[in-house]
Amino acid sequence: MTEATCRREIELEIPADQVQKAAEKVARDIVRIARIPGFRPGKAPITLVRRRFADDIQGEVVQSLVPEALEKALGEKNLVPVTRPEVDKVEFKEGEPLKFRAVFEVLPEFELGDYKNLHVQVEQIEVGEKEVDKAVEEMRERAATFVPVEGRAAKDGDSVLIKLKGMPAEGGDPVEADNVMVHLGSEETLGAFTENLRGANAGESKTFRATYPADYPDQKLAGKTYDFNVEVQSIKEKKLPELNDDFAKEVAGANEEIKTLDDLRKKVREGVEASRDREEKRQVENGIFEQLTKAHDFPVPEALVESEVNRRLEELFRAFAAQGVDPRGMNIDWAGLRAKQRDRAIANVKFELILDRIATAEKIDATEDEVEKEIAHMAEHGGESATALRARLTKQGALDTMKSKLRSNKTIDWLYSNARIEKTAKSEK
C-alpha cells in the first residue's frame, strides 16, 4: 500500500499438490461427459482429455481454488474489501503452485477524534412582525391579478404583451414569437426590454438591440445579440388583493381553521418559525460536517468516491428532468462536472465513515420499528403496499442501504443534541 490510499494487493500461492488434486477431479468430470471421436462416452484416456481440454481444466481449477484461497487469506490478515478483489498475474504451470495477485480496497484505519460537545456557531434568524409581513405580502403577490391598462403608458410593474422578431447581429436565423408576456422591471426580464418598453403605449412599435448573458437559461439565446422589432399588443397592471379576512379565507383554501386575517398571520408565523428551525438545524449539521471532516485526516476508498460522484450526478440529472429539461440535449461538460464533484464526494464519504465509527462507539442503530415506519412512509408516497416495498427493497439489496441511512441520520441527530450551539447575529452582506 502506498501512503494516503486504501488500495491493497496481496500475492498468494496455492500448493502444487492441492492444484494437482483439483485438476485431476476436473479432468475426471470432463471424461464422463466429453464426446471424443473414436471413444465411447466416459472411455477416453484421461491423458488425452488433459491435453485436449487443458485450457478448460485450468479455468475450472482457477475458478474453484482462487476464491477459497483468497477468502482464507483475507480472514487471516483481517482484511475486509469494500470492492470485489481483482485477480491478475495468474501463474499456472503443471506440477507447480498456482500463483496469483489480488487487488482491492479496504476501509481506512483511523483514530476517532473528539466528537462530543462540538461547538457550532449559527446565524440567528429573527422571526418577528417584519418577517410575517413579508411572507403575507408574498402571498398577496401570488394572488395578484392583471387588468388591462387604459389611458397611460407602460411602467415598471406592468405586464406587457408583445409580438417580436429578432435578427441575430452576427447573422443567422431570426427569432419570432407572438403573445410574449414581459414583466417590466422584474429580475427575470432582460434589461433592454424593460428600458425600451417602459413608456410605450399599446399599438406602438419599438426597435432596439439586446444582448443575452452567457449563462442565459435558453442555450439558443445565451451570449448572443439580437436586433428586435417589437409590437406592443396590450398592457396590464398588477392588482393586489385587499388585505382583509376575505383574502385570508381565500388563500387558506380548504383549511377551515383560518377565518380571519389574524388567523392567517398566526399560521404564517408558525410556518416562518418552522422554516427558521429547519435552517438553523441545517447550519448546525453543516458545522458538524465541516468540523468532523477537517478534524480527521485519512484516505477514503476510490470506489466509494466514484459511487458518490455518480450518485450526485444522478441527482443533478433527475433535477433537470423534474424541470422538463433533458440534460442529454444540453451542452454540458460532464467530465468537467465529474471533476468538480470530486472534492465534495470525498468529504461525504469521509463523513459517512466517521458517522459509522461514532454510531458503533455510541451503540446507535436503526430499530426494526424505525425501519417499518420508514418503509410505511416510502410506501405511502410511492403508491404501493409496505409488504411489496419491503420485498422489492430486499430483492434489490437496498434494504441494508436504507437501514444504514437511518443509522447515519440517528447519529447526526445524536451529534446535534450533544453539540454546544451558539447563535450569533446575522452578518450583513
Residue 83: partners with Cβ closer than 8 Å, 6 or more residues away: 104, 105, 301, 303
Whether residue 32 is predicted with pLDDT greater than 50 in this model: the reply is yes
Looking at residue 428, what is its pLDDT? 58
User: What is the reported pLDDT for 52?
Assistant: 67
Domains belonging to the chain, first-starting first, are 7-105 (3.30.70.1050), 145-239 (3.10.50.40), 261-424 (1.10.3120.10)
Task: Give the residue, 8 or 93, on which the prediction is more confident.
Answer: 8
Cβ proximity of 353 and 108 under 8 Å: yes
Cα 224 to Cα 193, 228, 329, 332, 398, distances in angstroms? 15, 12, 19, 18, 47
Per residue in 301-359, pLDDT (tens digit) is: 999 999 999 999 888 888 877 777 777 666 677 788 888 999 999 999 999 999 999 99
- pLDDT by residue (tens digit) across 178-196? 999 999 998 889 999 999 9
pLDDT classification of 1: cutoffs 50, 70, 90:
very low
pLDDT for 399 beyond 60? yes
Residue 114: all three cell numbers together = 473528539
pLDDT tens, residue by residue, 102-114: 999 999 989 999 9
For residue 2, what pLDDT is reported?
A: 37
The residue-averaged pLDDT of 383-400 equals: 88
pLDDT digits (tens, 9 = 90+) for 35-92: 666 666 666 666 666 666 777 777 888 888 888 899 999 988 888 898 889 988 888 8
Confirm if 320 and 331 have CB atoms less than 8 A apart.
no
Residue burial 120-142, b: 16+ Cβ < 10 Å; e: rest: bebeebebeeebbeebbeebeee
Asked if the model's pLDDT at residue 429 lies above 60, the reply is no
* Secondary structure in 3-state letters for 8-49: EEEEEEECHHHHHHHHHHHHHHHHHHCCCCCCCCCCCCHHHH
| Residue 103, helix vs strand vs coil | strand
CA atoms within 13 A on the CB side of 389: 17
Containing 5, the helix (H) or strand (E) segment is none
Residue 184 and residue 238 in contact, taking contact as beta carbons nearer than 8 Å: no
| Chain mean pLDDT for the chain | 87
Residue range 125-181, pLDDT digits in tens? 888 999 999 999 999 999 998 899 988 999 999 999 999 999 999 888 898 999 999
Per residue in 242-291, pLDDT (tens digit) is: 999 999 999 888 888 899 999 999 999 999 999 999 999 999 999 999 99
pTM of the shown model: 0.70
- Average pLDDT on 92-99 reads 85
Return the SS3 of 175.
strand
CA angle at 190 for the pair 337 and 428, rounded to the nearest 5°: 70
